[in-house]
Amino acid sequence: MNMNTKNKVALITGGSRGLGRNMAINIAKKGIDVVITYHNNKTEADKVVAEIQALGQKAAAFQLDTSNIKLFDGFIKELTTYLDKETGSPNFDILVNNAGTGFYGAFTEATEEQFDAALNIHFKGVFFLTQKALPYINDGGRIINISSGLARFSFPGSSVYASMKSAIETLTRYLAVELGPRKIAVNVVAPGAIATDFGGGHVRDNKETNQRIASLTALGRVGEADDIGGVVAFLSTEDARWINGQRIEVSGGMML
C-alpha cells in the first residue's frame, strides 16, 4: 500500500457501474479508500464495494439521487458520520462528480422536462453537491468533474446533454481559481464515446454507431471504461498535484 495516500478518501458519484465503477476500482488501486453513491442498483454497488475491499481498501456505498438537491444535506450527514466513525474525521480528500444519464434527441424536439432533468443531474446537482461537500474536503484535496467530448465536437441529438457539460467545464475553471487559496486542484475529464451501458448502451451495442465512431477516432476504435478510470485515478494522486483548471479529453483522438 502506498504510505502517502493510505488515509486518503475519495467520493465518487454514480460508482456502481460503467465509468464510475472503473474509476472507483482504479482509485482504490492507488491506495485510496473509496465511497461511492448509486441511484438504485444496490446489488451492483455492493459488488464494487466488495471488489475494493478485496484490494485492501475501505469502501462503502450510499444511495443518492444526485439530481435531487433536497437530499444533499441528509446525504452529507450520513457520509460524514460514516467517515468520522471509520477514520476519526468527517473529512475526505477527493470528489469525483461522475453520476449522469444520457439523453439523445433533436434540439427541435427537446421538452422542458427533458431539459430540466438533464440540468438537474449534470449541472445543478454537481454545483450544489460540490458546494455542500466543500467544508468537508481537506485542503490540498481534489475535485474531478466529468464532462464529454461532445462539449468540443458536435453530434446531432446531443444539444441538451452537451450544453450541460459545457457549463461543467466553465464551472471547473472557476472552482480552480476560487479554491486555489485552499490548494484544492479542480480538473475536468472529458471522455469520448465509450462502450458502456450509458445512454442505453447505444455506442456499445449499435454496430453502425460503433464503426462510425472508430472511423472518426485517430486510434481507430471506440473507448472502453478501462481507458478512463486510470486517468481519473492519476488525477487523484500526488503525481498530478500541479495539474489545475484543465480539461483533459480522453477520447483516443476523436474528431481531430
User: What is the domain partition of the chain in residue ranges?
Assistant: 9-249
Catalytic residue at 104? no
- What's the pLDDT at 201? 65
Picking from 231, 254, 225, the residue whose alpha carbon sits closest to that of residue 243 is: 231
- What's the pLDDT at 236? 98
Q: How many residues does the chain have?
A: 256
Residue in the block written with cell 466488495: 50
Let me know if domain 9-249 sits in CATH 3.40.50.720: yes
- What's the pLDDT at 170? 98
First and final CA of the chain: distance in angstroms? 39
- What's the pLDDT at 208? 84
Active-site residue, from 38, 82, 104, 161 = 161
- What's the pLDDT at 203? 67
| Residues whose CB falls within 8 Å of the CB of residue 123, separated by 6 or more in sequence, listed in order | 164, 167, 168, 171
pTM (two decimals): 0.95
Residues of the chain falling short of pLDDT 70: 1-6, 197-203
